[in-house]
Structure formats: C-alpha cells, structure tokens
Structure 1
Amino acid sequence: MLSIIGLLTIFIIVALLISGRITPIVGLVIVPIFGAFFAGFNFKEIGEFFNSGIESVISVVIMFIFAILFFGIMQDAGVFNPLINTMIKISRGNVVAVAMATVVIAAIAQLDGSGASTFLITIPALLPLYKRLKMSPYLLLLLVGISASIVNMVPWGGPLGRAAAVLGVDVTELWRPLIKIQIVGLLLLIAFAFILGLREKRIIARKFASGSFEDELDEISEEGEQKAGSEDVLLLRPKMLWINVIIALSVIGLLVWGKVPAGFIFMVGFSIALPLNYRTVNEQMDRIKAHAPNALLMAAIILAAGSFLGILNGANMLDSIATDLVKVLPAIIVPYLHIIIGLFGVPFDLLLSTDAYYFALLPIVEQVVSSFGVPSISIAYALIVGNIIGTFVSPFSPALWLALGLAGLEMGKHIRYSFLIMWGFSIVLFLITIAMGVITF
C-alpha cells in the first residue's frame, strides 16, 4: 500500500509539473500531505517528516539566497560582460562552438563533485551569452546537466560514495574502471553538443525571417556593446572590474576547495561586493530589492521540495517502492535485472531519490542478481552508469531546483525538453560501458 500511495504521489506531482497547471510550491507541499494522510499518518508524524526534510535542504536554501544576491551584484557591475563579448568575438557568434564549450566548462566546474556549485558557476556566466545569441536556456541546462553528471562519477561524488558504502568496497577502487567511461562520455557529449548546436543554429535561423543569420548575430553583438545606452549603464562598475573578478574567482575557488560551507562563502562574498560597488545605503537596498524576489521565490520552492522529500522518506514510501518494484518482476528477467534497471535508470530518477535508489534498490538488486554469478561490482556499475545521467532532470534533485532558479526556467518545460535526450544519451553510454567490459551479465 505504501508503494502504491508513494507512486501515485510522485506521478501526480510529476504530471502537475509537466502540465504547468499549478506552481511547484503548491504541488510539492499539498500532494505529499494527502499521500501521508492516506497512508495512515497523523499531523504530528507528518510534522516530524517535514522537519526532517527541511533540515536536509536548509543549507541549500541559505546558499541559494546569497548566491543569487552575489551573482546578481556581479552581473549588475558588469563582471561577465567582457567574457561574454570576448566569447562572441572569438566564436563569431558561433552557436555550435558555444554549445561545445558549455560541456567543457561544466565538466571543469563539476570537479568538486557538487552539482549546486557547478550550476552556480556556469549558469550566471553563460546564460547572458545564450540569451544574447538567442539560444535556448533549456539547452544550456541540458548540456551542463549531462556534463556534470558524467564527471560526478568521481569518488567524492555522491553516487559512488553511496554505492561503495552498500557494497563495502573502497570507493577509489570502484572509480578506477569508470575513468575511461567518463572520458568516453565527455568526448561523446562534445560530439553530441556539436549536433545539438547545429540544430539550435537552424532553429535560430528560422526565427530570423529577414536578413542573414550572420547579420543578425552582428546586431546581437552590437546590442551588447551598446548597452551603455540602456538604463543598466548606471549599475556598471568598469573601474571595479578587476577587484570584482578577484572576488568572484575567490568565491569560486573556495567553492571548489570545499572546506567552507557554500552558504557562508556567498554570504561573505555578497557582504564584501555590495558596499564596494554601491556605496550608499539606498543603492545597496535597491540592488537587494532587485534580486530578492527571484532568490526568495526559489528558496520557497526548495523548502517545498524539502518537505516533499521529508514526507516521502519519513513515511518509508521511497524504500517501499524500491523493494516492491523488484518483487513484481517476472522470474525470467531476474538474472538480467541490473541491465534492465540500468537501461531504465533515467526514468527511475523521476520515481526515486538518490538515497532510495542506492540505499534501497541497489542492495536488493545486488542480492538477487549476484546469486546468479554476476559480480556485485558489475551490478553497481550498471545502476550507476544507467542512472547518473538523469540526475539533473529529476524533481528530487535540490541542485536542479537551484539551476532552474538561476536560469529562470520551469521544471515541467525542462523535463519535456531534456528527458528523452538524456535518456537516449544514457542508453548509448550504457551500451558503450557494456561493450568495454565494465558491465557484465
């Protein structure tokens, strides 16, 4: 019964998000509460689940609020304008080159193993460029998400750490055979970004009914260079450029270092950058008021997602789903269960949280399939490679909500745009992993 209620709860939320009928906050708060009531839990128990869920995301909320404020100040001061203009001049407005470069930039940013910091680093820097070139911001989120997912197979990333804990093996040993998969995956993604870039270029060209595509790109570049004629010019701080760059690089460096809480880093960075760039109290308050609505809106969504995860975890719905999914499968496919689950790993991201996938589903699959002589480590690789690409298309990912807030995008539209592409890429990478002998059956 818990599995049925949990699945219905998740399906309803995903359907509502995709349909766009309600705001994420309403769906993430109300639907799980009804699910918990139907499962027999009372207000007091649901309140405890809520507290647990909020505690799990509160650090992300703090980081998000001050990250939005910090990067908002950096954008207002014009820190990213030279980079954007330089990239446009070098690439000559080449949409394909920008798409391919996005993969590399995201891969470097993800080396710290934190999806949240990757989005915080890449989206504020690249989103203005995408907008200036009329590229879809959903393409940016897709490419950053896949690239970050591939790199996230590092030992200090969450998935490998969870899998190593379940199997009782050293996480570094678990990672070594995956290094070649990461390299192949990134090369494959760069080639894929080339194709997606060509598609995006055709889409943009069709939108420009008059004039050539190159002429339109010239106008886009001129628009950026003529920004001095807009009201935003009053916010620019060209004399403070190098100081702001040092502050931004210091913040990013501390994020990559990983020894200091991200929320604290952004809080300090914002507190230094704001008075340096805007000296009067009125100017400072205006900048806070300008960026606070986006920060608070997405902070509320992340808190709602924390409530959602807390209720489903506290009610044991996610664990129950993972257990019962295995039980209902026909006996003939059980020896190949890890292959099947690997192939459907991305859709599983819409049903299970990362913790439920690795701590509830993986132990059951390992126990069942290993009895047929399949190595436990191969079972783990199947579930890791099959699932990891879908990390940032799942509403269970707090970092994805952060990315959506940074880019001003919607979860439902992101799922519609990215889900099938991510799933297809995941299947190709999964088959390559089998061909390279990392996954056996």
Structure 2
Amino acid sequence: MSLSLIGILTILTIVVLLIWNRTSPIVIMIILPVIGALIAGFSVAEIGVFFEDGIAQVMNVVVMFIFAIIFFGIMQDAGLFEPIINKMIALSGGNVVKVAVATVLIAAIGQLDGSGASTFLITVPALLPLYQRLKMNPYLLLLLVGGSAAIMNMVPWGGPMGRVASVLGMDVNELWQPLIPVQIVGLILMLGLAVFLGFREQRRIKNQYGLVDGAVALVVSSEENDEEDDEAKNKETDSHGNSLVRPKLIWVNLIVALAVIGVLVSGIIPSGFAFMMGVAVALLINYPNVTDQTARLRAHAPSALTMAGIILAAGLFLGVLTGSGMLDAISKDFVTILPEGVTQYIHLIVGILGIPFDMLLSTDAYYFALFPVIEQIASAVGIDSLSTAYAMIIGNIVGTFISPLAPAVWLALGLSGLEIGKHIRYSFFWLWGLSLVLIGVAVLFGIISI
C-alpha cells in the first residue's frame, strides 16, 4: 500500500472521528498514526524517532497552552473580565448583531501581530463570557474570530506569506501588496456574515428563550439573575473564607494582563515564558497565601493539562505523517490523478479545494510540499507563478483556524471549552464559501489569471 494512500486514510479517519466526536482526540491522534506507520512498514524504533521530532515541534506551544489557560483562569477568578463584560453589554445594548460585528473587528485588530494564538488569547477570554451572558452560541465566536484572523493573516509577517515567499525566492512585501484589496473585501464580507449570523442568532435566542424583543431583553434577564450569579461566585472562597473576586485589584490585574499581552505581541520573549511570568505575578498579587495559590493551580490544572495532552498527541500525529514521508507523498501523488484537460486550471482547482486540503495537510506540507509541485505543473502550461501562489493562499488561508492540524485551534478550544468536531461542523462551510468568493474576487481583480 502506498504511503500517500495510507496517509490519506489515516488523516480522513482521524478527521471523521473528530467531527463525529466518537472518542477523545488524544486517543484518536495517538493510536491511528501509529497504526498507519506500522502498516507502512516502519519499525517501532523509527516511530519513536518520529515521535521525538513531532514533540519537539510542539513543546513550546504546549508550555504556552498550560500557562495561558491557568493565567486567564486566575484573571477570571479575580473578577477582571466581569466589568469589561458589563461595559460591552451596555455599549451594545445587549444587541447580538452589534456583538457579532464587534467580534470581527476585535479579532482583525488582534491578528495584526500575525499570531493566531495571541488573537485567540486576546479575544476568547474577553468575549466568551459576554456570549454566554447573552445566550449566544460560543461556536459563532470561534467562527467570527477564526475567519477574521485568517483574512488578516495575509500580512507579510504571517506564516503562510513567509512560506510562499521563501519558495518563490521573492520579497514578501511584494507578494502581499496585491492581496490588500482581497483583505479589504474579505473583512467587509466577514462583517456582512457577522450581521447575517447575528440576526439568525437573535431569532434563535428569541425562539429558544421566549424573548419578546430578541437579545436586547437579555440585559434585563441577566440583571435579574445578577444576584444569583454573584451568590454562586461568592460560594468559591479563599483560605480565609473571602470571595475569590478581588475588586480592589482590578486595575492592577488589568495592567498585568495588558503587560502579558503586550509582551506576547512584541515577541521579545517566548510566549510560554510570558505566561509563566504572568501566572506567577497574578498568583502573588491576588492570592499571596500558598494554600490559595495551590488551590487556584489545582482548579485550572485539569483544563490546562487536557489541552496539553491533546497538543502532544497532535505532535505525535504530525511527527509520524512528516517523518514517514506520508505528507510529501500525498502532495506529489495528488497531481498525478488529475485529467490532462484540467492542467491549465490546476491552480484554481487546488485553490478551490484549499480548505479541504487544510484539513488533510499541515501548513508546512501545503506550502512547502504541495505548492512547489503545483507551481511547476502550472508554469509548464504558461500560468504565472504568482497567480498559482495567490490562488493557493486565498483558497487555503481562510480555513486556517478550523483545521485540527493548526495548534491555535486547540488553544481556542481549550480557552472556550468547546469541541473540535462541533467547531468544524459549525464553521466549515461558511468559511469555505467565503474562500470561494474571495477567489472569485481575486480573479475579477486580475490577481489570479485563468
């Protein structure tokens, strides 16, 4: 059995099981790649090498995940986000559509540093409680943040642009400039999608909760439940019997949170180190007693370690697929099955299938393995290399944050407590449709030639 066939069957089985939510992602992403490698003829010792290489690639991400989840958990315990949520509710008037639109704008700004992980770290902890308060679907939050961040990720310092520029041997800024109109159109379309889905969500809330005036009435509803919410929070106490909330330290906590995010965006130190420092400072300021510190760590450790386990399993998964050569084989064998008559449209075909490919190939495999092959075939029939590059970038990048192979996706799921399968089912077709429209826009603008 060929490497590419084993790789495709392994990846498809994993994706299907993740979507159906039949078992834990950790179980799926550990057992199936190992079985695939054994079927391909690799020894246990060789799989061990693949494991070490894969784990090495994700270890920094694992450290960041653990301490990021603990840090934002402590900030939540201390009551940092509650006033922010109340203010946002007041500004939006409890209007679901306005909240959805604001989500797109906040995510676009947050993605200016080119890091999907930092965008989710900024947006999800701040906006998820607001979505929960207004009874909005949290998967809508991930859809809007993921789509907006992906469009902004076309910036020169974003990973995909750097990869393509390195393959083509050109300046990344020159590669990016023609894409600026596509980004503008993409953000406008994301705002339109936010409005459409916001109204749909408003109708769902009205039907499900029996509200006369849509989500706006939820402000009144939430105010009636504020006392119950406060009582529930106050049941959690520190070692002295006091509430975990630290209202007198809100400005101090805000400065700490902004400092951590600022350091994260600046990139002056590794993100894992930034959150480790943040956790230490947050514990020292809010819960100086060692008993309280231990209690806070224990409270948030299950979520942090669960996500760390999933990322480590994903590291094994990627390590096996990469080290065994399965990803390279998939990208090379794909082009051999295309009919001869479609060769002149191969860049468009691959671009149209960009998001499905994102579910099968890692970002590195897509741009470093598949792209060079497609570019060579397209060039042979007179298609400009830049046209191929833009088709593959636009077609793929919009779906970056729904792929189970993207570490930032697992961070978003860990911060929100949501499931990968439901996220894919909720977001996949909306984002794929958006990518197809943007490919059409790029063709109309002459960015992609036919």
C-alpha deviation, 1:215, in angstroms: 3.4
Does the 8 Å CA contact 1:13/1:31 hold for their aligned counterparts?
A: yes
Matched residue type, 1:20: N
Paired residues for 1:90-169 under 5 Å: 90-169=91-170
Other structure's SS at 1:325 match: helix
Aligned-partner Cα distance in 2 for 1:85–1:387: 37
Matched residue type, 2:53: S
Superposed CA deviations along residues 225-268 of structure 1, whole A, max 9, x for unmatched, are: 76432234711111001110100111111111112100000000
Other structure's SS at 1:235 match: coil
Does the 8 Å CA contact 1:88/1:221 hold for their aligned counterparts?
A: no
Please tell me whether residue 285 in structure 1 is matched to residue 294 in structure 2: yes
Aligned-partner Cα distance in 2 for 1:103–1:225: 31
C-alpha deviation, 1:378, in angstroms: 1.1
Q: Which residue of 2 aligns with 1:298?
A: 307
Aligned-partner Cα distance in 2 for 1:336–1:220: 54
Please tell me whether residue 261 in structure 1 is matched to residue 270 in structure 2: yes
Residue 151 to residue 14, structure 1, CA distance change in 2 (3 Å): same
Q: Which residue of 2 aligns with 1:355?
A: 364
Does the 8 Å CA contact 1:153/1:182 hold for their aligned counterparts?
A: yes
Q: Which residue of 2 aligns with 1:390?
A: 399
Match of 2:432 among 423, 432, 439: 423
Aligned-partner Cα distance in 2 for 1:316–1:232: 55
Match of 2:220 among 218, 221, 226: 218
Q: Which residue of 1 aligns with 2:244?
A: 235
Which runs of 5 or more structure 1 residues have no equivalent in the other structure? none
Q: Which residue of 1 aligns with 2:51?
A: 50
Q: Which residue of 2 aligns with 1:368?
A: 377
Matched residue type, 1:229: E
Does the 8 Å CA contact 2:206/2:212 hold for their aligned counterparts?
A: no
Aligned-partner Cα distance in 1 for 2:411–2:146: 12
Matched residue type, 1:436: F
C-alpha deviation, 1:183, in angstroms: 1.4
C-alpha deviation, 1:216, in angstroms: 3.6
Aligned-partner Cα distance in 2 for 1:221–1:157: 42
Q: Which residue of 2 aligns with 1:192?
A: 193
Does the 8 Å CA contact 1:76/1:232 hold for their aligned counterparts?
A: no
Does the 8 Å CA contact 1:85/1:224 hold for their aligned counterparts?
A: no
Other structure's SS at 1:279 match: coil
Aligned-partner Cα distance in 2 for 1:260–1:224: 40
C-alpha deviation, 1:187, in angstroms: 1.4
Other structure's SS at 1:106 match: helix
Does the 8 Å CA contact 1:28/1:304 hold for their aligned counterparts?
A: yes
Does the 8 Å CA contact 1:181/1:433 hold for their aligned counterparts?
A: yes
Matched residue type, 2:400: T
Aligned-partner Cα distance in 2 for 1:215–1:171: 49
Superposed CA deviations along residues 318-348 of structure 1, whole A, max 9, x for unmatched, are: 1100000111100100111000111111111
Matched residue type, 2:435: S
Matched residue type, 1:166: V
Please tell me whether residue 316 in structure 1 is matched to residue 333 in structure 2: no
- Aligned-residue identity in percent: 59
Aligned-partner Cα distance in 1 for 2:325–2:298: 41
Does the 8 Å CA contact 2:343/2:381 hold for their aligned counterparts?
A: no
C-alpha deviation, 1:387, in angstroms: 0.4
Superposed CA deviations along residues 293-336 of structure 1, whole A, max 9, x for unmatched, are: 00000100000000000000000101100000111100100111
Paired residues for 1:80-95 under 5 Å: 80-95=81-96
Aligned-partner Cα distance in 1 for 2:345–2:223: 54
Aligned-partner Cα distance in 2 for 1:360–1:71: 37
Aligned-partner Cα distance in 2 for 1:85–1:226: 16
Aligned-partner Cα distance in 1 for 2:14–2:440: 31
Residue 232 to residue 119, structure 1, CA distance change in 2 (3 Å): farther
User: How many residues end up aligned between the 2 structures?
Assistant: 441
Computed over aligned residues only, the root mean square deviation of the Cα atoms, in angstroms, reads 1.2
Aligned-partner Cα distance in 1 for 2:26–2:112: 31
Does the 8 Å CA contact 2:89/2:219 hold for their aligned counterparts?
A: no
Does the 8 Å CA contact 1:132/1:224 hold for their aligned counterparts?
A: no
Matched residue type, 2:68: A
Paired residues for 1:332-347 under 5 Å: 332-347=341-356
Aligned-partner Cα distance in 2 for 1:190–1:210: 25
Q: Which residue of 2 aligns with 1:36?
A: 37
Does the 8 Å CA contact 2:134/2:218 hold for their aligned counterparts?
A: no
Q: Which residue of 2 aligns with 1:10?
A: 11
